[in-house]
Amino acid sequence: MRRHIYSFRFKDGTTDEQIATVRSSYEAMRAADPDGWAHFSMGPNISESRRSTRYNYVVTIDFNTHKAYRDYEDGDLHRAMVERDLMPIVESLSGVDYDVSATPKE
């Protein structure tokens, strides 16, 4: 299983409605590939660390196969969502992917 984690710092002034639009876009992508996505979650950073908070939201997606991950990453829905919904409200972001367990190709 391939785990895809992105942390975002949304710009000051970003509204709850804009964040809800991003969440809805992710949910639409999941609905388009229900067999490929094992898990999706998105929520605010609730860290109680004494260190400064670099990011205020996080997205986690688990993909069942490498193909499902590539279809998402290279897909038109993802590209459109990033351009239309995400980048206008993102100040900074950081991402990481790793295999939680063996990730089959297909």
State yes or no: pLDDT of 52 exceeds 80: no
State yes or no: pLDDT of 51 exceeds 90: no
Range of the structural domain that residue 22 is part of: 2-99
CATH number of the domain bearing residue 88? 3.30.70.100
Domain total for the chain?
Answer: 1
State yes or no: pLDDT of 72 exceeds 80: yes
CA 64, 68, 72, 74 torsion-angle sign: positive
| Assigned domain for 106 exists | no
How many other CB atoms are there within 10 angstroms of residue 91's CB atom? 12
Does the pTM exceed 0.95? no
Mean pLDDT of 33-46: 96
Residue count of the chain:
106
Write the DSSP symbol of residue 83: I
